[in-house]
Amino acid sequence: MPLTRRDFAKRATYTGAGVALAGSVGVLATAPGAIGEEAGEAAGDDGKRQLGYGPLIDDPKGVLALPAGFSYKIITRTGVTKLESGEYTPAKHDGTATFEGPRGATLLVNNHEIKGPRSKAKHPVPLAEGLVYDPAAAGGCTVVEVSKDGEHVSEWVGVAGTSTNCAGGRTPWGTWLSGEETEDKAGQNGMTKDHGYVFEVDPRDHRAARDPKPVKAFGRYPHEAVVVDPKRGHVFLTEDADTPNGLLYRWTPPQGFRHGRGQLRTLADDAGVLAAFKCFDSGGRFVDDLSRATEPGTVYGVDWVEVPDRDARTTSVRKQFKDGEVTRARKLEGMWWADGGAYVVSSYAREESPVQHDGQVWFYNPVRRTLTLKVRFGVNADPSKEGALDGPDNISVSPYGGLIIAEDGEGVQHLFGATEDGRTYPVARNEINIGTAEEPEYSEFTGPVFSPDGQTLFANIQDPGIMLAITGPWRRQR
């Protein structure tokens, strides 16, 4: 049922600027002015504890700068560590989730964002028997098991023969949904099957992933993140695309469908309803692009418009809508379900958008059907300067309060936290220069996520392909 202007006006009084979200996370403030401010150091001159963990200390090994008292281990590294089958760890580490493993171990499902034909990939995901969708594609997922003491590591294939596996999402029933950020069809870029789908990977059951089947009900487009509403069964999906800018989607399951292990494989290709979001402001005016919101605390009402052809047989899904039918946004990427809703990232906006920025974090409330801007980063004038944070991408909720965000922008790259009052603080800095001394270049962080016990923060540096385990004196950030 469409959300009327009167309904939205009523709900906006409860969710407007200046009111922090309730719940276990309480991630980001809605107060105006909280525009990605950098937090203070761990202790001020008055001795009172402040936000963050203090300044980052250069790493003599040139890998990862961390605050005092923190340390890291390299868990997997492309072309160095090996899978149980003997092949090297694949390249392009990306979206990641953690699960409880046997005997206190942690299981991680790790996407590998390898695009294009397999013949051109130096370290593709191995074509493990029974786990291959398209033998011409180089991407996929691996499953990594890290023992309780962090000393023993095993790695094996979760799914292979997929393409450009970027973000994804953990399901409430303990599996991983991996999205392909591509629209290649059979016959394009060397592919033998259509791509641009979501695949399910069960980290605890090797047999469950045999004969990989795309979840075509979720649509075929450049997928980024996926989250599941555990109460209503809706699935939310982001699209990273331009010309035109991408969309936020909601999949509504068919009547009588119940989520669970193996159930997505039973869905018909056209099961349920796939719809794209359409936003309007408190005056009922249509909002064409999320970049128009410049003040944290901005609240939009949300309607959902059904996708005509979710498999995009002749026209990309986002191109099936005319101007005025849906709301768009550039670089819709990371998502995380918490506080009864979905946190959604728009990494940046440039000339392809009405207003430029260097990142937004939104919160979608499915009960009130509202989308609230939590943090906005203005355009960073000097990305090479240490201390400036921008380009939020993959996100996760921290057990110590707030969000942990992977930076994917120009120049220096960080893991950073975002707090209840909208301030940010650095957690780590990538020190692996893949450029030159004269023109340094640093790859993005991806897949930040805590272990189930909250003691270890896992994260990846996409190039040269490293999974890291970070430990230290974590504490509640208020």
pLDDT score at 348 = 95
Asked if residue 307 lies in contact with residue 246, where contact means CB atoms within 8 angstroms, the answer is no
Per-residue pLDDT of 223-240, as tens digits, reads 999 999 999 999 999 999
What's the CATH number where 69 sits?
2.120.10.30
Q: How many domains does the chain have?
A: 1
In a domain, 241, yes or no: yes
pLDDT score at 79 = 96
**Proportion of the chain in helix, strand, coil states, percent, rounded to 5:** 5, 35, 55
Mean pLDDT per 10-residue segment, the chain (478 residues): 46 33 33 41 53 95 98 97 97 98 96 96 97 98 94 95 97 98 96 98 89 97 98 97 97 97 96 98 96 96 98 98 97 95 96 96 97 93 85 94 92 90 89 94 97 97 98 91
pLDDT score at 48 = 55
pLDDT score at 49 = 62
Strands 370-376 and 176-180 come out as unpaired
pLDDT score at 17 = 28
pLDDT score at 208 = 85
pLDDT score at 420 = 67
Nearest of 304, 114, 92 to residue 190 by alpha carbon? 114
In a domain, 354, yes or no: yes
Token pair, residue 24, equals 């276990």
Nearest of 370, 382, 474 to residue 425 by alpha carbon? 474
Q: What's the rounded Cα separation, in Å, for the pair 324 and 2?
A: 16
In a domain, 291, yes or no: yes
In a domain, 478, yes or no: no
Q: Is the pTM of this model over 0.85?
A: yes
Nearest of 179, 163, 183 to residue 171 by alpha carbon? 179
In a domain, 56, yes or no: yes
In a domain, 476, yes or no: no
pLDDT score at 85 = 95
Nearest of 155, 139, 105, 173 to residue 456 by alpha carbon? 105
The string of DSSP letters for 185-201 reads PTTSTT-SS----EEEE
pLDDT score at 61 = 97
In a domain, 477, yes or no: no
Domain holding 166, by residue range, is 5-471
Q: Which residues are paired to 145 by β-bridges?
A: 107, 154
Task: Count Cβ atoms within 10 A of the Cβ of residue 65 and give its class: 0-12 exposed, 13-18 middle, 19 or more buried.
Answer: buried
